[in-house]
Structure 1
Amino acid sequence: MPLALLALAISAFGIGTTEFVINGLLPELAADFGVSIPTAGLLVSGYALGVVVGAPLLTMLGTRFSRKTMLLALMVVFIVGNLLCALAPGYGSLMAGRVVAAFAHGAYFGIGSVVAADLVAPEKRASAIALMFTGLTLANVLGVPLGTAVGQNLGWRATFWIVTAIGVAGLAGVAALVPAQPRPTGQSLRREFAAFRSGQVWLALLMTTLGFAPVFTVITFVAPMITEVAGLPAGSVPLLMALFGVGVVIGNLLGGRLADRALSASLYFSVGGLTVLAALLTFTAHGQIAFIVTLALFGVAGFATVPPLQTRVLDAAAGAPMLASAANIAAFNLANTLGSFAGGLVIQGGLGYTAPAWAAALLGLAGLAVVALSVRGIGRERVLAAEAV
């Protein structure tokens, strides 16, 4: 694989770390700024909103530039956002820095997916995308725990200074290793929007939203499932989350390989496996060893969905993939919001701490239905292409 993928992965590692590390620093931030934990928690929601808004907006602005130029510009935005966080004198300015950094997130992964796919042969596109996303998955295993430890011992500002430095390293890597690419012939905002006339593009976005939502339906509320249902000690939560993170890394790479071999089959396998494992968690949560094994496999299946889902939207928007690719990153974040909302809803309804697993399985079934519709579309595309030859 090209070294340019390493540069893309380093930047992805920094972006993933700044997105998730805030969760472990909420008590310190709340105490420092004199706000409640729920108010501090809005820094998570603010970031997600920034991703949803920034992904299509910055991608649209970037249609006038080459993809490498856009990646460099987005890393500068990311660095500036984290500098604002590190220097923030108050809660409002910290929120502003988070939103600025988030603006780079969706567009970077959207454009980066297109660049990664173009760096390799067509039959290796999904694996290339998976390697870029490995930076994001490693952020959960390494970046977030280390960033949390640094923030707790040296102050939360130190964490943002480190993330800023990672961003600078990613910027330098993109500048040095990603080959200069001329602005694609015919690239224009009108053409990018035209891709959304395809029903397959909208199916791909819906498939991402429903097919990935089960991950956050479960993981948002996995801590009480661990302690209250499985009966494991509270100290085991970080260890099990790390185990889940290892499964995420494995699943991401596995999903890339499977998608390169058979995209349609990989969509069924990953979304279907995620659905089955979500349902199994309802039962295995009552047995400690079975629960631990199922949770690890849930991590594998959860991120095995990412490369095929991202590859499918690139296929559906062939010829004008940048905006659709960025929109799919926004769809992943919409899935996070939908999943956590669904999980909270069933718990508030008095259905217990295993109820999010059932809610996740139902969302997964809906995702599978969309997969079936999309795969039928893939079949029709192939027939039409064969008839045109």
Structure 2
Amino acid sequence: MPLAVYILGLSIFAQGTSELVTAGLLPELSSDLGVSIPQAGLLISAFALGMLFGAPILAVVTMRWSRRTALIAFLAAFLLAHVAAVLTSDYWVLFATRVIAAFVYAGFWSVGAAAAVAMVPENARGRAMSIVAGGLTVATIVGLPAGTFIGQHLGWRAAFWAVTILSAIAMAGVLSRVPDSRPDSTPDLRKELRAMATGQVALLYGISTLALAGLMATFGYLGALLIETTRVAPAWVPVLLAVYGIGAFLGIGIGGRTADAHPTRTLVVGIVGLTITSALLALTAHHIAAVVVLVFLLGAFGFGTNPVSSSRVYTLAPAAITLGPAGNVVSFNIGITLGPWLGGLALGAGMDYPSVAWICSGLSLGALGLVVWSQLLHRRTETSSAAPRLIEAVG
């Protein structure tokens, strides 16, 4: 695997740490900026907003740039947004920097995915994407707790400075190792949109959205579930979140190795595993021993499907080299937003925390239904294309 692919993973680690660490620093942000904790929490929504729109817009704006130039530009803007963030004491300026940082981070995901796939053979795309996306998993295991620790002891600005330094290191790596390449052919938006306008691509995005929404419905309230239902001491919550992260790291590694040769099987195993794990978590949430095992499995099965979700569009719509990965980023962020929103609705209606795990199971079953639909559509297409060949052979 080219070193440049690992550097792209390091870049996602740096930016992903910024995405995650805000949730761990809400009390510090609230106190320093003079706002309520719910207002500080809107900084997380600001990041999600930027991610949602950044990928398709920046993919189009930079589609004729060299990939290295685009990646450097995104990292530079991300870095400058964090410098502006640590120098301000104004809540709304900080809010704007979060939107900008997320906007270019989404662009990096889109172009970085295309760059990683272009550097490897077709049968290694899933593994390459597991390394790139693995940067976010490592951010969950290392970046989030480390950034939270720094923020709690040295202030949230120190955590943001750490992200800035990591981004600068990543930018140097991209500049020195990522090839200064362009797409093999001149990008054509109409051609890419036509390539994406198929049932299979739509189903792939739907599977990604529902599977991630299910995972995030549970993960978004996992800390609260551990404290309120499992009765874990708050000091142990980061340890269990690290267990989740270890499971996610192993899951994405295994998924990356099976994604290219067995994409459908990888999706089915991951989604069925997520469905069963969430249901068991809902049923055994009061028992710490079971919860520890299930939190690990939640990360493993939830992230095991990521390499297929990230790389499959290149097979289904090979002409959509620019907009295909941008669509992935959009579908992921819809899922990230949808899952916690549904969980919040359930909790707001007076349901208990295990209900969010049932929501995960329901959304995962929906994703599994879309996988079955995709397979039926694939077989129907194969049958339709085989009929003319059979008639021609007979004739």
TM-score (norm: length of structure 2): 0.94
Q: CA deviation at 1:325?
A: 0.9
Letter in 2 for 1:81: A
| Counterpart AA for 2:28 | E
Asked if the contact 1:86/1:157 (under 8 Å) is kept, the reply is: yes
Distance in 2 of aligned mates of 1:196 and 1:17: 31
1:226-265 per-residue CA deviation (whole Å, 9 max, x = no partner) reads 1222222222111101111111111111111121220111
SS at match of 1:169: helix
Deviation at 1:146, TM superposition (A): 0.9
> Which residue of structure 1 lines up, in the alignment, with residue 49 of structure 2?
49
- Over 3 Å counting, the alpha-carbon distance change for 1:258 and 1:385 in structure 2 is farther
Offset, 1:382: 5.7
Task: Give CA-to-partner distance per residue, 1:106-147, whole Å, 9 cap, x none.
Answer: 221122122212211211110110011111110111111111
Q: Deviations over 1:34-53 (max 9, x none)?
A: 10000000000000000001
Do the aligned partners of residues 243 and 388 (structure 1) sit closer, same or farther apart at CA in structure 2, a change above 3 Å counting? farther
In structure 2, distance between residues paired with 1:378 and 1:79: 44
CA distance in 1, matches of 2:70, 2:381: 31
- With 300-309 and 71-80 compared, the bigger mean Cα shift is at 71-80
Q: CA deviation at 1:67?
A: 2.1
1:69: which partner in 2? 69
1:30 aligned residue: 30
For the residue of structure 2 that corresponds to 1:321, the secondary structure is coil
Structure 1: 5+ residue stretches without partners: none
Whole-Å separation in 1 of the counterparts to 2:96 and 2:295: 35
Match of 2:157 in 1: 157
Partner of 1:178: 178
- Aligned twin of 2:225: 225
Note if 1:114 corresponds to 2:114. yes
Residue deviations 1:51-86 (CA, integer Å, cap 9, x gap)? 001111111101121222222221122112212212
CA distance, structure 2, for counterparts of residue 381 and residue 163 of structure 1: 48
Query: What per-residue deviation string (whole Å, max 9, x for no partner) do you get for residues 307-339 of structure 1?
Result: 111122222221123212112112111111111
Question: 1:228 corresponds to which letter in structure 2?
Answer: E
TM-score, normalisation: structure 1: 0.95
Q: 1:82 aligned to 2:82?
A: yes
Q: SS state of the match for residue 120, structure 1?
A: coil
Question: Matched residues, percent identical?
Answer: 38
- Whichever of the two has the greater Rg, that structure is 2
Matched, 1:148 2:173: no
Residue number in structure 2 paired with 1:127: 127
2:322 is paired with a residue whose SS is: helix
Choose 157-166 or 185-194, whichever is displaced more. 185-194
Query: For residues 268-279 of structure 1, what are the structure 2 equivalents within 5 Å?
Result: 268-279=268-279
Instruction: Provide structure 2 residue ranges, at least 5 long, that are not aligned to the other structure.
Output: 391-395
Give per-residue Cα distances to partners, 1:321-372, cap 9 Å, x unaligned.
Answer: 3212112112111111111011112222222111111111000111111111
Is 1:215–2:215 an aligned residue pair? yes
CA contact (8 A) 2:125 2:311 kept: yes
The Cα shift of 1:88 comes to 2.0
Paired letter, 1:261: A
Q: 1:190 to 1:73 in 2, by over 3 A?
A: farther
Q: Distance in 1 between matches of 2:346 and 2:365?
A: 17
